[in-house]
Amino acid sequence: MACIRIKGERCCPDGVVCGFEPVYRYGGFKFENHHYFGPVKLRLDGEVAKATGRKFYAAFERWEKLTKKQREKYRVERYER
């Protein structure tokens, strides 16, 4: 999972919480689908993208309708370009 910044919390004084969710490339986008936070659009270098728009969510909805087996065909490494 992409890093989420929570500054000033006792659990993470440096302000960063990270997880590890699978990364997918589908419909021209690279993203991870976190079980709680939902989809997170990523840049090609694996970092969180600053902007997420309608085209991304439309592609994500198409991906979500695939079976689990079909989804795995689109799984990639986080830092794979």
Domain ranges, ordered by start, for the chain = 21-76
Amino acid at 78: R
CB-based contact 44:79 (threshold 8 Å): no
Q: Could you identify the residue written with the tokens 């979500």?
A: 64
pLDDT, tens digit, 9 for 90 and up, residues 45-64: 888 899 999 999 999 999 99
SS3 at position 42: strand
Q: Higher-confidence residue: 18 or 79? A: 79
Asked if the model's pLDDT at residue 1 lies above 50, the reply is: no
